[in-house]
Amino acid sequence: MAYKVGILGATGAVGQEIIRLLHDRNFPFSELHLLASANSAGKIHNYAGNSWIIQEATEECFSDIDICIFSAGAAQSLQFAEAASKSSCIVIDNSSAFRMNPSVPLIIPEVNPDAINDHKGIIANPNCSTAIALMGLYPLHQAFGLKRFIASTYQAVSGSGAAGLKELETQIKAWSDGRSLKSEVYPHQIAFNLIPHVDSFEEDGYTREEMKMLHESKKIMGIDDLLVSCTCVRVPVFRAHCISISAEFERPVSLQSAHSSIQSFQGVELVDDPDNLKYPMPLNYSEKVPCAIGRIRKDRVFNNGLAIWVTGDQLWKGAALNAIQIAELLHTKELIN
């Protein structure tokens, strides 16, 4: 069976990756509807020998779409998701709009695929850092039982979309030419710098991005008493996020069991050979389907603790790929009308 597929936010960085991955992964679609704002309506998008006219997103446009991936931000999702669902169009939402709604499943297909069975027309895609972190933590949770973790993220500018990518490139060129560097996307210069600030600050000093790691991890893994402390940092890397994690588990840990758990888990690769300088890096995991886990060692602070390093492509597993994997899961389970 082939489906009529829509992409809301088709002109953005994630939207472009969704178009690419739908083709690369041979998702069964008969029609592709590219939706965007009125400013982009009427433009032509070409890919793989095909051409599509970009349509303006309206509440009426979803009546002829079976499944639509939303990648236009929370405001657009809140504006259109209910109308799409009422039109029997299943929404896979990449924004934060519905992630913590108790009636909306929050899905990483390798982690909690069965949660999709109870969807009511809207399915949420987790935050990029959460998705990549849990690809590293979940196989260890299965082996040892996760209690709590501390994470520091190293987030590429791809997390800010095309504008973030452009700002880093522009600043690097300006620095090379001896010109002044202008910052518009970020509050400070991102080239050759680290900014410990992703999303807005809350009253307790954590950012919204950091709190997503806590709340989304608890929901996805079903660990109500999970404790998480996170610091999110924007780094001058074009693509692929990295996350340093120290985690404590319920049961005694061993490196051999940790390696075995990761090697048997779908969607990840073990890259952990420090003697030969092999460990996950953004350059090696940009535009790659699996996430990578390395630098695995017993943590010196936590009892039954492990320290790990996880790398994954933010635009793929952190956004576009995970959304398409959700669509593939719907197809496999025959949950699309």
pLDDT tens column, 19-52: 999 999 999 999 999 999 988 999 999 999 999 9
In a domain, 61, yes or no: yes
In a domain, 337, yes or no: no
241 as an active site residue: the answer is: yes
> Tokens standing for 5?
């597929």
Same domain, 62 and 161: no
Residue 91's beta-bridge partner residues?
68, 122
**pLDDT, tens digit, 9 for 90 and up, residues 216-242:** 999 999 999 999 999 999 999 999 999
**pLDDT, tens digit, 9 for 90 and up, residues 86-140:** 999 999 999 999 999 999 999 999 999 999 999 999 999 999 999 999 999 999 9
pLDDT reported for residue 1: 85
Same domain, 119 and 219: no
Backbone torsions φ then ψ of 196, nearest 5 degrees: -80, 60
Same domain, 164 and 117: no
Same domain, 249 and 303: yes
Same domain, 17 and 91: yes
Same domain, 45 and 171: no
Same domain, 174 and 308: yes
User: DSSP string of 174-217?
Assistant: HHHHTPPP--SSSSS--TT--B---S-B-TTS-BHHHHHHHHHH
Instruction: Write the CB contacts of 267 (distance below 8 Å, at least 6 apart in sequence).
Output: 110, 135, 289, 290, 291, 317
Same domain, 179 and 272: yes
Domain count, the chain: 2
119 as an active site residue: the answer is: no
What CATH number does residue 7 fall under? Answer: 3.40.50.720
> Tokens standing for 28?
């069964």
Check whether 337 has a pLDDT greater than 90. no
What CATH number does residue 198 fall under? Answer: 3.30.360.10
Share of the chain above pLDDT 70, in %: 100
One of 61, 68, 89, 128 is an active-site residue; which one? Answer: 128
Domain of residue 162, residue span: 130-313
Q: Which of 152, 149, 328, 146 is nearest to 243 (CA)?
A: 152
One of 33, 119, 141, 241 is an active-site residue; which one? Answer: 241
Residue 151 to residues 89, 203, 303, Cα–Cα distance (Å): 37, 20, 17
pTM score > 0.85 for this model?
yes
Same domain, 307 and 325: no
